[in-house]
Structure 1
Amino acid sequence: MGISSQSPSVNTNIVLDSRLVKNGLDMVWLSCESLATNIYHALSRKLGTANEVLMAEDLTLMNFPDPTEELMNCFEQTESSQPADAIQQPSLPTKTESYYQYYADDYDYSSDDDYLNENEQVVHTIPQFTSTSSEMLINEGDTIKLPCFVDELDGYVLMWKKKNDIISLGGQMMKKDARIQLVEGKNGNTLVISLAEVEDEGEYQCQLSANQLMEIRHNVKIRVKPMIRPNPTNGLVVVYEGEPATLGCEILKGSPMPDLIWTRKERKFSSGEDELRGLEITFPRATRHHSGVYICQANNGFSKIPATATVRLDVQHAPSVEQEQTFIHTRENDETEVVCIVHASPKAKVEWFKNGQLLKLGEGIVSHRNNRHTLLLPGITQSTFGTYSCRATNRFGSDERTTQVSGEHDDDTNALEEPFDITPGLASSASVKTSPYGEEKSGYKVEWVAESITPITAFKLQYRPVGTSSWSEDILVTPTSNGDHLYSGKYKFQKLQLSAHYEVRISSKNEYGFNDWSEEFAFGTKGAVFSVLFYSTDLPSLDKRMELSNDFPNDLAPLQQPSTGHAHKQAVTLLGSQILAFVISAHLVIARVFHH
């Protein structure tokens, strides 16, 4: 209820002490002097200043008991020309200036009560906070709960503020926001803000009306869920082999700033790492080994499940063909498969050949699944035996690999154009299945497969550093049967040198004994780099044949031997009377001498 418009202008040397004596749930006014000033200062706090002229109708906003009669009895007539419905800032007596300081500027509530009569004198105990200041990180959309409790409130008032904005005074909400509520408790309350927003971030103060500023502070940070997208936005990067490739990830929102981690789907990075960090990753010289799906993950703790974006890298290159077996030993009436793995982008055209001629209709059943191409040879007969080739071609080039299919050799068997490199009855030569590009600094795991009509009972292998002549002692490995006369083995080398090159060879044992050593398989530990290999048949002239790998461990070129003569290593070439000496940036120049 407001003050009547007929009320005279007043010199509001009238105060209302907020420490009202409680009688049950009723509030007893202590004096005329205390009544108006408390209303004035409370309204001044609500409006954000202690110097503003307050209209009488604003009094009803505070939900005070009806003050009209009390004020009317206390008004003193003055010659002021102020409007009849206004209350001005009081002129406070000198002896009580500090007493009213709290409302005008952190007003001191607990100064003298000597203006009260002896029946109204109140003894106050200053409350102590039982709640403590805190810092909290709240997820956007969650609920913020800020406690403010004291040991004994004793009629004092708690006020919630954020910067200069008053949120609540006593039990009264001053800020109109449906998300904010005050939950009262014994000797205090809890400020509750539901559906937290970024704008709710900041410092909240709970102040107690005492002779000195007493408050606790809650510093609230709002954590925003990360949102990211791939760069480029279509999630596809296409480059030619040898070109640089950059994959990016863009943060659209997230607070605090999320960490970005890159992983590769279903495999490690070609350089051996499980993960990389940063907004983007770059491969200076992309090879087919970089092709694949890369996943960018953003996490700032908002959830156990990070935000993700994927980028697919397509490195376009000429086909590269790998065969599962170089020799298949079978018998008549059996069934066998010739398999080759084709790596190509764009997709390659794959053709099958037998003894150099395009495979005729009915000579086998051709199928493929992803990059695995299969030639099924059912009902093996003498005419089935031969050399089968898998040739893949796209606009960048072609590649071809061959597999020999043979039965037991006897005088009646049709001779093939090229002799076999195994003794009849022995297992086929082992074929290594692992990549030569090592991912460990001092270790390497090699896996291989061999075929034998009779069970393979043991493998043995030897290894040595490339460029040395002595092999290690035999290492025995127990085989694993994979069915269809296939047997596999694996071995983990330990304590190898960093960035070093090795070669391994394998022999298989069945009931006919150990077969000959397989062709040497070259591999390198992490960081190994192959350089230049020269072959020549006669000195001082050089064969122009050269194998060079620029991108090991991602693009190690297989070493190939000359078809005739002897191979000699050369890093300095003598041409006539001129000497051309140069050093090619390399860790190793590999030399082998082949005798035929």
Structure 2
Amino acid sequence: MRAEERILGGLEAGFKQFPWAAIVTVTGNNIDKMCAGTLISLRFVATAGHCTSYCKDQAHPECKRPVPADELTFKVQLGEYDYVNRRPNQETRTYHAVNLFLHPDYRSNIRLVETGFLESDPKYDIAILKLDRAVKPSSYITPICLPEVGQLLFPDLATVIGWGRIGRYVGDPHSSVLQAVTVPVLSAEECAEMDGSSYPSPDQICAGLSNSDQSSCPGDSGGGLMTRDMEERWFLIGIVSTGLSLDSQISYNREEPKLHEIKDQSRRKQDSPRIDRQGSIRPDGQRVERDSQLPEIMTQDGNIRVERGDTARLTCEVAGLGNYVLMWKEKQRVISAGNLMVRKDPRFQLSVKDGVFVLYIRNVQREDAGDYICEVDVLGRPLRGKQILEVLVPPVVQTRENKVDLYKGDNYTLSCSGQGYPNPRIIWSKQGGYMRRPGYEGLSLPLTNVNRQDSGNYICQASNGVSTPAQAVITVRVKYPPEVEMEQNWLKSESGTEIDIDCIVYSDPSPQVTWFRNSGKIFETDRLLMTEKPGRWTIKIIDIRESDFGNYSCRATNLLGKASAVSVISGRPSPPRFTSHSVNFQSSVYNLTWTCESVSKVTEYKLRYRQSKDSNSEGGVWSELVLPVSEPTLQYHYTLRELKPGSVYDVVGFSRNKYGWSMHSKTFTFFNKGVDFSTQELIKKKLRETEEEEERARQKEEILITSLSSDSVTWLIDLRIGVMSIILFIQ
């Protein structure tokens, strides 16, 4: 699989496509964060600096109390692809960091924006984790290449990977499957011209476009920005850092030459914080145990999906709450504190029992979607649990128009939009009739060079798995000049031969139809009847005579044009119409049957047959038979011999009477299957049934003979050869 079309607006990465991808989990001091990382050697993983640096004062522009490294645990997962549904035999390995090397110039700039929120804009946002043991390379786990020292790679496009959100908004879900997308790499000037952006600092790369649906998202921090060289080798050129807002570009800290600097520093620096094998950083080899009396949130973070209008149930279970207070929050708004409802919305209700806090939201609406936090503040250090509420909205479909009038040859695009959550899938269909692209998916359905077959009711159906699909109908009318087809049917009756000539007219608007014989207009007589049905005009000639022979034409006219077709009555017979079964179960012979209509006696038939063409052969040579006819019958037959089993044959026929030869028939095709196992079994079964029936008949006759013996008459009945022989013996 390719990654270039898959994070936000991207696709799932190919399995084992990026074996250097890492999941970095940071825990401790009420911190539980997941970032991405990149394996850059057999012992080092690169990630974002802000994934390893935290402040006890939360988000303040100036951090007075940074979280010490010895209070954090760094776990690195390699070989991961889908951390929810792992594949069979998938190789994943877990490592712990023993050293953390943050870029010497790293700083986390926290600033207040117009919306009143604090945003982070870190500088030199790169860190390296040293693993507790060397990595053993495999097809699942291997390092990425690094540029040479001083080498700057600035491609037009680069690929970014991660497990972050796959949407733009807070309520959008995270991906459990590694995502990848290709984004354009912008110059500083191009970046500054984009909405919501400014000149990147020298340590940053600007990639992506404003208001784009293809980018990295929250949760992708620390992931690699990569490019390939002419030899298709992947190189790491940046680390996912931050985007200033949801509608701005993402900043990627340049990889070169910082990683080389940090790696050199890691070899020299001896006083860096050390980490034990369990991953808890310690400066002096001692571990600090958690106070067993403190509260602990027992409920796992998760996603809750509720259909709009239903009731959502959000649960938070706390052990050892004691005198501490649990709060429910949403978008920084307090919903409840302890047993008290703070938010004055009658749809919100709280149930508390035995440390289980259940928040009910009745009549859930789309705007209720988002992250709901249950929080316990413990001496200024909050413990948090998170439930992500997704509100499922049934699909609604809208069309630009309900009726469209077109002319033959026009080009037009039908449009349809669907709304709902998740985003609905749009599928087009048509009520009966022909559709060029059945099952076509998309917001629009192109109709090019339309003709009469494109007329009809087109259905735009939106479905997202919530409730029932929504539909809208667009009626398309294609106006076109008449199109005429002719059919001729013969019928034998006591009064002679009758002929029906049908004129089938396709036309919009409706046509005017006129009949002609040779060059003159014809009208009804006692032997020529005219009838009309929707789309079909018919003349019936009763007791056909030689004087009726000629060219019969049907002329149709409407506002857009006219058309005509001719049916010839010449006295010549119709072509043979084959009536045999299309599958033959005999090994080498086939009984071919046919019928023919003719105003006079048919004198002979001509048959041509050959082995049919297929993908492996050009077909056989035509064999021709001439069959004289002595007496007319309702049905004719001929046995074809020396056929090959398992072959397909084509047959074409001609008829002849005193007026001449007919046109050739339609090609008739039959399959000479031969006697297969199932047919043999049927024959054997039929023979067994016949023998059993004969045996029962013989037993009945023996009883009859016995009953007649007193009258000195004996009947002997021999049924073995299917002939009843009755011999009378007189004693």
TM-score, normalised to structure 2, is 0.38
Write 1 or 2 for the structure with the bigger share of strand: 2
TM-score, normalised to structure 1, is 0.46
- Highest Rg: 1 or 2? 1
